[in-house]
Every structure is written in structure tokens, then in C-alpha cells.
Amino acid sequence: MSSPPTPSISPSHFLDLLLHSSSPLHRPTPMTSPRRRSLPLRFLLIIIPAPLFLVLLLLHRSTHPTATLLRTADSGPSPDPRRFSLLIKLLAYDRPTALRRCLRSLAAADYDGDRVALHVLLDHRPPNSSLSSLASSHEILDFVDAFQWPHGEKRVHYRATNAGLQAQWIEAWWPGSDDEFAFVVEDDLQVSPLYYRFLKRVVMKYYYDRENYSPYVFGASLQRPRFVAGKHGNKIQLDSETRLFLYQMVGTWGQLLFPKPWKEFRLWYDEHKAKGLKPILQGMKTTGWYKKMGERIWTPWFIKFVHSRGYFNIYTNFLKERALSVSHRDAGVNYGKSAGPDSTLLDRKNLDFNLWELQSLKKLRWYDFCFDEVLPGRVVRKFSELVSVLKSVKLKSTVVLISLYSVEERFARNLICHLDKADKQNYIFLGDDSEFLDDIAHRGYPVINGIGFLQSIKMSGFVGSDDFAKQTLVKSYVIKACLDLGYNLWLLNGNMISLGTKLIEPSDQSADFFTADVGLVFIRSSLESKKAWSELTMSRVQTMCTSRHFSASLKQKSFVRILTEVLASSAGSRLGKLDEGIRVIKLGPNTSSKSISEGQSNVIFWSRSMASDSVQKQLENMDLWLIDSDLSCGAVVCLQKQRVKKEGKPSWKVAERFWQVDHRRTRDNYAIAALQEVSQPEFDAGRFLAARFPPTLNKSLDPTLSASKDAERTDPRKMTRGLPRMRRRTFAYDDGVKIVWCEVVGLPAS
């Protein structure tokens, strides 16, 4: 036999190996220790003559430009609070009175002895403007030139042509470093003397403090939060203890911008502009603004960017309509006529709390564009963390476990959009793509990292490199935890889309385990299912998964097949079929939206062997492809809050989590409204309501109604004649609350 040829190594390749032998970017293989890989570098530096080493180094750089750029970027200085600097970017146009007010408030602020630069960006008048308009701009220039700025450098940029508000904002700043921040104000703004010291504390706490830093925070707004951009979103209501919170909406009335997210936005904006894309985000009020005003405004672009990245903004809540910046809402691009100040300026005179005390980032609340609270960071990496995350999900009695193993990111994100659209909240994702799982976790979606989870149960060493065995073990342990906590469980794969608000659970009570061949599983929590899973299934699954030839012995890698095989060997466990109330539709060339049945739970699925682009095209044809080119949902869905549907009735104020009763006398009727939790079926609403009526009325109230849970179903003909009658109407909603409207009719005249 001839010996194999000696591999040839080019000088550049040789130096590449030499330079990267101990680099963290080129980790050693499991068979090689880091210590042994670092020895050749020291040895070769000794034996290679200096001129030859220099030649190799130059050759390496000429043949690896990308690697050189990456190393240069990585070797840059990290953020350092000693290098902190803030630039004030003042956007001005044609409002000289407002500009004077703004500049004077900025100059009167306390800058804590820091040097702060002021950049005034004055937009030019449109073409063919009158001489008087140009003269007005020149007067503004004269005032700005003469204005004394004692806190640092002052620059004035007077544009040669009209740029408009969008370009004024977007072109205002390109960060000079990761320690340079911009505070952008429009000329109708007035700031508090305390604004700078507060912003500086925010930066030191939430940017430079590693324990309180998040790469998903793009800045801080000083305006009083009032606007919810999502259609049908919640009203902004915060308790009096909340001083700071995070909200996705950008604030244009005094916005501090962090350098890295702003750079990212500028590049994203360039790319989307070059492709001719528009910042259309359905379900947002700002999209309507864009359709009306077009490129005159910039906020729809930034909102679309924030939505695609899952970023958040820091906001203040100082109560009594106070804020550190106030917009006087003078007539301009945004207002046809002056609307007056939106808030009361917070200063030392009306400061009645500790402005400088900032909570840790973990204690702050996060809100999306609908002003629904988001719970970021719910990642299960250890078995011991599973219970707390499960309890944080709005489960009621059922968990939906969605497996994302071997699922492309675009299909996983499209699935998330369907869950948001249907307002499904009782789910948790399972997978092994740590980067993707961390990304959706910071957006508020609960996830289980299968890699860390398996290591925590100390089973990863037994299954080796068999990925399917790992998936099977993780699913089995998660199912066991859910059953032990008393939760029913659905198991879905990422190649499925469940349409509708919820999956209909099988009514067959003779079985606790149900499957469909497509990989759909339902397990009802009961004493029998817990026992069967703990005593039989777990031991059998562990034995199978730790077998050396586990995957090779399977005809088809399917968790359903394994579950079927294991339960078949148990005499006490019956396996049912998921064919009741659920319509399973296989995606294919002939599948259309007409295949979806009304009144049923529809589950669309596709074979894993189907080409990814074909799957996407078929879903697009059925209007089931909900993501855009950014792999983010094309719409923000804010669920409209349910209201009592009976028109003409008084609007009763009801508070969550406790009963609140209101009385009103209307002619001969006495009406009462209350809030009832559906989760308390043992509560006798009739008795409760009757007890709230005046004692004199209670004595004369028809006893068949006052103590009856089913008062609304009582036959009026059977009621005692001559006594007051109670009429009750119930309005039930999907969020677990029902409004009970009751009237007592036939009271004696007072």
C-alpha cells in the first residue's frame, strides 16, 4: 500500500493555525486539551527567525481580511463610564419663540460640572419660500449664534435644503463611540433643571452597570407616558410605587439614545430604504400616520425596527402629571395649532420623592406596544427552574408544550405570530438552539433550553450524541413535571400550526393518553396518568434512550411511536385517538383555506421532508404566513377589552381581583353590578348579590331568586306575585371574568 500524501500547508494557513492556536474563537476539540494547543505557539516563536515571521504575518493579513477585521472589532475598548459623554441634539425649524424657551431651559439645567456639547440643527425652508420666511430663519440663526452656552462646545448646522422632520431625526447623530450618547429634543420642548443629572444616573445604572444592563434597551424617554400605539391597547395605568418601567414605544419629547441600538437602526433603515420597503406594521396607530403623512415623519420607521428586534425604552412615572421634559405642542409638523403643555415640569420645588433612587433592572416592569406586561428572561436551564416558570405562565389547567427541535427559525417565528394572534398564553417552547431561545425569551415567551435541562438531570452522558434520544428524555421529564403539578398537557411540534383560540380536549374519560399520528399528544393529569408515567413510562424511556443503538433500531423517529410502544406494554394504560373535535390538515399543493373547518380545532401540519420554501409558499397561499422579511410578525395584535354588551346601561366601574359593588336607584328599579370570577364556581352569586341589597328590600325579595345560583333561568310565572322581582343577566368573556348585571323590579315608590 502506498502511504497517504503529506498534506501541504500554505504559509498563510500555517500562520493562521499558529496565531489562532489559543484563540477563544477556535476552541480545541474534545480530544485536545487547551494547554497542549498553546505550546506550539511559544515554541515556534523561538525557532522561527524574526524576518520570516514578519513575512508570514503580512501574507496572513493579505489573505484573511475578514478575520483581521473581526479581531480588530473584538479588540476595541469596552464601554467605560469615565469616557461617558452626552450630546444635545436640538432640532429646529421655524418656531423662534419656542426655540428661545427650549435653549434657555437647557442652559439653566444642572450639568453636574460635566462638559456637554450643544448641537443646533436648523432645517432650511422649502424651495420657493418667501423672502420673509428666509428672513425669519436668518433671525433664528442670529439668535442661536449669539446664544451663550457655558457648558461646553456649541455647534450650529444650518441645512442648505429642506430635509424634513424624518431626516432631521435620523441624520442627527452617528455615535462616535460606545460611550457617546445623544439627547434629542425638538424646539417646542422645555426641560427640567434636573434632567441631565437624572439621565446620567440612568446611563450609569442601566448601561455601565453590567448587572443592570440589557442589550435590548435602546434608551430612555423623559416625556410623560400617555400614548399606546397599538390599536385597542390597554390604557397606561401604573401604581404609585412605579417610578421607572420599560415600554417599547419611542418618546419624541426628550429621548436619550444609546449608541449601539441607534447604529443598528441606522444600518437597518438604510437596508430597508434600499429595498424599497415601507414601515408598515398592521395593528398600530402609527401606521395610519405613515399612510397619511408618508416620509415626513420618522417614528413609524423606528417603531418597525424596535418591533423586529424586541427592544424597549425606559420611561418615568412621577405621578401628578409631572415629567422632566414638557412639550408645549406648538403648531408645526405634528400639530396644526398650538395645544399647550402636555405635563407639569418636575423641578426642585415640586419634588416630593427620591428622584435619584433607581431600582435594579430585574425589578422593573416591561410593557409591549399594547401596554400588556411582558415577562422577559423566563428560561429553564435546570430541572429545578421548571416549576417556577410553569407557574408564571397563564396555564389555568393545561400546558401546551411546543417542541422546536430541528425547526427553522422562520417557521418558529411564524408559529409565534399565530399564537399572539389567537392570544394563546398557556404554552412553553422547548428546543436546543440557545441563541434563538434566548431571543424569544427576552420578548416574554417562556422557553426550556434542552441542552442545559438534560445536563441538570445528569443524563446527557448516558445518551451520548444521539439527538433524538436527548429530545425524548427532555420531553419525558417535562411531561412528568407537568403531570405532578396537576396540569393537563398538549405536545405539539414546530411543523404544526394550531388555528383558533384553543385545542379542544377529548371528552373520552376512559383514557388519559391521546395521540395523533402527526405527532400531536394530549395527556390528562390524573392519579392514574401520574402513576403510569412515573413508574412505567419514565423507566422504559430511560432504558430505551440509553441504549447504544436506540435511533438505529427505530423505523421512524417519532415521540408518538415511542409513547405508543411504551403504553402498549402497560395493562392499566389505555391510549386514545385524537379524532374528536380536532381536524388535522396536511399541507400540500391542493391545500387551501377552504380546507379549514369552522367550529373545530384545526391543526395544519407538514412533513419534515417537504422543502422549506414549498412550505412557506403553501402557507402564504393560505394567508397563514404572518412574518415579514425581518422574520418578525407583520402585525401587532392588541385584544380589544370586552365591555358589557347591553347598550343603554350605566358604565359600572369594576376592579380586578376583588368584588366591587355599586348601587343606583333608577325610577322603580334598583340595580346592582358586580364582578364574578368564573374560576370560583362554588361561589353563590345570587346570595352575594341579594346580601348587598338594603335590609328592607331583602325581606320583600322573592326567595326563589335571592338564594338561587340559576336565577336567570327561573320561570317568571312561578314567582310570587306582588313581590319585587330580580332580573339577572350574565355576560361571560374568554378572559375568565363575567359581568353580572342585576335589577330588582317592582319596588314600592319611595
Segment 465-492, tens digit of pLDDT = 678 888 888 999 999 999 999 999 999 9
pLDDT > 60? residue 625:
yes
Give the residue among 173, 169, 167 at the shortest CA–CA distance from 186. 169
Pairing of strands 344-345, 366-367: unpaired
Q: pLDDT tens digits for 551-600?
A: 666 656 788 888 888 887 766 678 888 877 788 899 988 888 877 866 56
Calculate mean pLDDT across residues 280-290: 94
Category of 406 on φ-ψ map: left (φ > 0), alpha (ψ -120 to 50) or beta = left
Identify the helix (H) or strand (E) that includes residue 676: strand 669-677
The string of DSSP codes covering 529-593 is HHHIIIIIIHHHHHHHHTSTTTGGG-SS--HHHHHHHHHHT-TT--EEE--SSEEEEE--TT--G
Cα-to-chain-centroid distance, residue 218: 14
User: Which segments of 203-311 are extended strands (E)?
Assistant: 217-221, 244-247, 255-257
Q: How many Å apart are CA 679 and CA 677, to the nearest integer? A: 5
* SS3 call for 40: helix
Q: What is the DSSP letter of 640?
A: P
Of 56, 31, 29, the residue nearest 41 (C-alpha): 56
pLDDT tens digits, 103-147: 999 999 999 999 999 999 999 999 888 888 888 889 999 999 999
Stretch 339-354: mean pLDDT: 86
Closest CA to 478 of 469, 487, 466: 487
Q: What residue type is 506 in one-letter code?
A: P
165-179, 458-472, 672-686, range with the lowest pLDDT: 672-686
81-366 against 376-621: fold identical: yes
**What nine digits make up the cell of 345?**
415640569
Contacts of 345 (CB under 8 A, 6+ apart): 190, 191, 192, 322, 323, 324, 325, 326
Which cell numbers hold the place of 72?
A: 480588530
3-state secondary structure 282-293: ECEHHHHHHHHH
Q: What is the pLDDT of residue 330?
A: 63
| Cα separation, 406 vs 108, whole angstroms | 59
Cβ-contact 399, 426 below 8 angstroms: yes
Residue type, 424: K
> What residues are paired with 181 via a beta bridge?
86
Its CATH class, for the domain covering 376-621, is alpha beta
| Pairing relationship of beta strands 217-221 and 312-316 according to DSSP bridges | parallel
| Residues 229/303, Cβ–Cβ less than 8 Å | yes
- For the full predicted model, state whether its pTM sits above 0.85: no
Q: In what order do the strands lie in the sheet with 737-745?
A: 662-666, 669-677, 737-745, 725-732
Residue 366 and residue 376 in contact, taking contact as beta carbons nearer than 8 Å: yes
Higher pLDDT, 78 or 217: 217
Please give the pLDDT value at position 275. Answer: 96
Domain residue spans of the chain? 11-72, 81-366, 376-621, 662-745
Q: What is the pLDDT of residues 229-263, one digit of tens each?
A: 999 888 898 988 899 999 999 998 999 999 999 99
- The continuous run of DSSP H or E covering 429 comes out as strand 427-431
How many Cα atoms occupy the beta-carbon half-sphere of 666 within 13 Å? 12
Domain made up of 81-366: CATH architecture: Alpha-Beta Complex (3.90)
Task: Read off φ and ψ for residue 625, nearest 5 degrees.
Answer: -100, 105
From the centroid of its chain, how far is CA 149?
41
What is the model's pLDDT at position 399?
93
Smallest CA-to-CA distance from 486 within 569, 550, 594, 398 is with 398
**Grid coordinates representing 610?**
417537504
More confident residue, 418 or 656: 418
338 or 287, higher pLDDT: 287
Angle CA 559–561–562, to nearest 5: 65
What pLDDT is recorded for position 724? 47
